[in-house]
Structure 1
């Protein structure tokens, strides 16, 4: 692959990371909004359904983020091996380790938020 093709792949992987955060974030925000208007007092079945939807969305989002971040790191390795000349490639190589935040920290934050919502939905 050429340097330009790898940069294009990097751009796609970065976009996948961004998009994969949208659905879980919107669902979490919507659920918190519903909590304000009474989701905590909804029937048990509705609360279980809400928790299940959040869990499924979070798992799928985390998998998409992990995959896109892993691809981004691999792209940076490929760029490194070809001794890139462009400033863009050198920047990608420098910031690629930050994708570990997407791979590990973001899912950990989701777990903490999900547990907090479960406590609110079922233990209050």
Structure 2
């Protein structure tokens, strides 16, 4: 593959990483908002459904991130092997260690946030309702 084609693959992998963050981030933010509005007082089935949606979205998001990061690292390896890389290629190759943040740190943060939200959904006192 040419340097230009490899850079195109890198751009696609990076876009997939960014897109894979959207749904889990939205759902986590929404659940935090719902917790503030009283979700812990909802029926147990609603709280279980919320936990399940978060878990499914988180697993899918993590798998998409890890796959895109692995593909990005493969592209970086091919870019690194080029004999006369351009400055953009050198910049992309320098990003290799940071791709591991997507592979390991981001899913770990999701797990921590998920556990905190589960604790709030099932083990905390209901939030005060303002204006009642």
TM-score normalised by the shorter chain: which range applies? over 0.9
Give the aligned length.
124
Going from structure 1 to structure 2, the CA distance change for 1:23 and 1:64 (only over 3 Å counts) comes to same
TM-score, normalising length: structure 1: 0.98
- In the other structure, the counterpart of 1:76 is 76
Q: For the pair shown, which has the larger CA radius of gyration, 1 or 2?
A: 2
Q: Distance in 1 between matches of 2:36 and 2:3?
A: 50
2:46 aligns to what?
A: 46
- C-alpha contact (below 8 Å) 1:16/1:68 kept by paired residues: yes
Q: What is the rounded CA distance, in whole Å, between the counterparts of 1:62 and 1:111 in structure 2?
A: 10
- Superposed displacement of residue 108, structure 1: 0.2
SS at match of 1:83: coil
Alignment of structure 1 residues 99-110 onto 2, 5 Å: 99-110=99-110
Contact 2:13 2:68 in 1 (8 A): yes
Which 10-residue stretch deviates more, 2-11 or 81-90? 81-90
- The CA distance in 2 between the partners of 1:113 and 1:48, in whole Å, is 16
Contact 1:73 1:97 in 2 (8 A): no
Q: Which ranges of 4 or more aligned residues in structure 1 deviate by more than 2 Å? A: none
Q: How does 1:1-124 map to 2 (within 5 A)?
A: 1-124=1-124
1-structure distance, mates of 2:113, 2:79: 36
Deviation at 1:83, TM superposition (A): 2.2
* Higher helix residue share: 1
